[in-house]
Structure 1
């Protein structure tokens, strides 16, 4: 029992020291610190900041690599779809051409319709 009480007291002191250290790292209760303590805190914060920036750079690099891989995949899919559409468009154009030829052969009259596109305010125009 005595051993457990001693261990609990040691843990309590360690928790108190850790809380004081945490407060100092957050910039609280610095009035009681000596110049050496402040320099140690500064060095510790510099190391922490270096680690944080390193991790941040690593995450940015990983994210950039993921996005580049995704971009490559999407470009490949886009090209595949363009080829697929190109084949479809040629097939549709061939079918439309065949239908037009067939419809002109079947009907007695085939006429071309000419349309004119005009953009702007209406004006008086001669109809031809």
Structure 2
């Protein structure tokens, strides 16, 4: 009596599934070994159980077989290199688009938009981020204001020094002008618009007796007039 065909579907019974896995795994490893010996083929076999346990077989060493597989798959043949490059660029573009969308979503969240899908934990994390950003902004603003105040103080001190210098210069110039005016007055130089002084040592008396005589003879003596200045 022959065996019936086994329906290819997942075995629901855990014990039967484990027994079937062990039997067929051993048979598969045996077949791989027989194929490598009978046909002089390089065979590599990797099996992971449902529990994550690894079973492997390599007729020439599994690492060597994998390296050969990679060289064979990534060797440029015809347009395969161009296709792989295009695929790589497509994957890179997809990653950049996903990153861009994530950044846009984060920006909207920081602006207080699209907060509906966020959970309580995500909202708390967003709140912490905003508090940190606000604290940093306030610290930066305070630093800028302090720098501006220090610059204004330096300008004030500089203007005060300039003011002192100008005041000292004006005082020195005023004393020099006063001494010049005083010396001029003592020396007898003209001062003002209408007042003047004359040094008596340079004054000469005017000795003259001006007379005016009209006529040439005694007969005309009655007409003589004298002018005394």
Shorter-chain TM-score: which interval?
0.7 to 0.9
TM-score, structure 1 as length reference: 0.76
* Map of 2:197 onto structure 1: 105
Query: Is the deviation greater in 7-16 or in 85-94?
Result: 85-94
Q: How far apart, CA to CA, are the structure 1 residues paired with 2:185 and 2:94?
A: 97
- The higher relative CO (CA closer than 8 Å, separation ≥ 6) is in 1
* Aligned with 2:137 (options 52, 65, 81): 52
CA RMSD of the aligned region, Å? 1.9
TM-score, structure 2 as length reference: 0.44
Q: How does 1:1-128 map to 2 (within 5 A)?
A: 1-101=86-186, 102=188, 103=190, 104-106=196-198
Q: How far apart, CA to CA, are the structure 2 residues paired with 1:86 and 1:54?
A: 48
Question: In the TM superposition, what whole-angstrom CA distance separates every residue of 1:68-113 from its partner, at most 9, and x where no partner exists?
Answer: 1111111111111110111111112222333444335339xxxxxx
**Unpaired runs of at least 5, structure 2:** 1-85, 191-195, 200-229
Q: How far apart, CA to CA, are the structure 2 residues paired with 1:71 and 1:59?
A: 18
**Runs (4+) of structure 1 moved beyond 4 Å?**
none
Q: How far apart, CA to CA, are the structure 1 residues paired with 2:125 and 2:165?
A: 60
Q: How far apart, CA to CA, are the structure 1 residues paired with 2:108 and 2:181?
A: 79
| SS of alignment partner, residue 197 of structure 2 | helix
Q: How far apart, CA to CA, are the structure 1 residues paired with 2:184 and 2:113?
A: 85
Question: In the TM superposition, what whole-angstrom CA distance separates every residue of 1:2-48 from its partner, at most 9, and x where no partner exists?
Answer: 11110110000100010010011001111221111111111001000
User: Which has the larger share of strand?
Assistant: 2
User: Which has the larger share of helix?
Assistant: 1
**Unpaired runs of at least 5, structure 1:** 108-128
> Which has the higher Rg, Structure 1 or Structure 2?
2
Q: How far apart, CA to CA, are the structure 2 residues paired with 1:23 and 1:34?
A: 15
Query: Is the deviation greater in 59-68 or in 94-103?
Result: 94-103
